[in-house]
Amino acid sequence: MYNVLFVYLAMAVLISIDTIRRDRIQKGKDQERYVQERTLLGQKTKRVLLELKNLTITFGGVTALNAVNLKIYQGEILALIGPNGAGKTTVFNVVTGVYRATSGEVLLNEQSLDGMKRHHITKIGIARTFQNIRLFGDMTALENVITGTDVHKRSGLLGGLFGMPRARREEKAGRVKAHEILQFIGIDEYSDRLARNLPYGVQRRLEIARALGTNPQLLLLDEPAAGFNPAEKVELANTIKKIRDAGYTVLLIEHDMSLIMGISDRVAVLDFGQKIADDLPSVVQNDKRVIEAYLGVPADAS
């Protein structure tokens, strides 16, 4: 009787040990596969479109960005998050040539943007929207988008004034393109309305349309969902995904976590001008330093 019990017990122990061992092996394999997949992704399908190298910018005594390194890969949505004053908008301002870096550099397709004028940066493929909407209020929605397409015009002002054939052709092409973009963003029905009379949500979308008018490779969106209700946020998230799927690369500053987690391919986190995390959304979400930065207290302090 005791013998039988002993055999059962021994078997139970052996099975448990085996299960634990197999579990460990599986975990190891999972980890390995995870690393392999990410390396493959990194090497085969990703091309760096924009790179910030050791980017530092100071204003008087304030270091808005402190030796930030960041890569943005072709075709991804990279969310740039962080508490207020972390330096997110400053990244946009340096990348678009509004501010000059104190040290470090920005590269687009491995070409340094150092010393480049704003309109030139727009022309080579970087467009942005602003945290506070900046549209031409007295122009129609369509005209606002046409101003975007104008950056690639080859005919000058005189050609336009005298109705030269190239100017006429370019103007027509600009209008067609602008309508296409308004349709793509889903606001073409407002094309003839003055921008200042448009509902707030449409104005925010129009900003994106105008930026797309410049035919960018990289689209920088600064808090595009600010002031949106949940339904508008969902709609915007779909639009941003659609933009990415159409081949644009998107760098997105946003506060709404569910929006970010829902659409981003990667998330980079700034805190007091320093990059504290840069990874897959699910990894960043559970990062201790990120949680601390947002809560303002150490994550393990009660």
Ligand X SMILES: Nc1ncnc2c1ncn2[C@@H]1O[C@H](COP(=O)(O)OP(=O)(O)O)[C@@H](O)[C@H]1O
Q: Which two tokens stand for residue 160?
A: 């336009």
Whole-angstrom distance, CA of residue 19 vs CA of residue 26? 10
88 or 128: CB nearest Mg ion: 88
**Least CB distance to Mg ion at residue 131 (A):** 5
Residues numbered 53 to 92 that lie near Mg ion (CB under 5 A) are 88-89
Whole-angstrom distance, CA of residue 145 vs CA of residue 143? 5
Any contact of residue 277 with ligand X (CB under 6 A)? no
Binding string, 23-62, against ligand X, x = CB under 6 A? ------------------------------------x--x
Task: Count other C-beta atoms under 10 Å from residue 7's C-beta.
Answer: 10
By CB under 6 A, which span of 22-30, 85-93, 196-204, 207-215 interacts with ligand X?
Answer: 85-93
Residue-by-residue DSSP string for 224-272: TTTT--HHHHHHHHHHHHHHHHTT-EEEEE---HHHHHHH-SEEEEEET
Any contact of residue 90 with ligand X (CB under 6 A)? yes
Ramachandran region, residue 166 (left: φ > 0; alpha: ψ -120 to 50; beta: rest):
alpha
92 or 190: CB nearest Mg ion: 92
Strand 77-81 and strand 249-253: the pairing is parallel
User: What is the dihedral angle through the alpha carbons of 110, 111, 115, 117, rounded to the nearest 10 degrees?
Assistant: -110
**Least CB distance to Mg ion at residue 127 (A):** 17
85 binds, among Mg ion, ligand X, none (CB under 5 to 8 A by kind): ligand X
Residue nearest to Mg ion (CB): 89
By CB under 6 A, which span of 80-88, 122-130, 166-174, 286-294 interacts with ligand X?
Answer: 80-88
Q: Write out the residues near Mg ion by the rule CB under 5 A.
A: 88-89
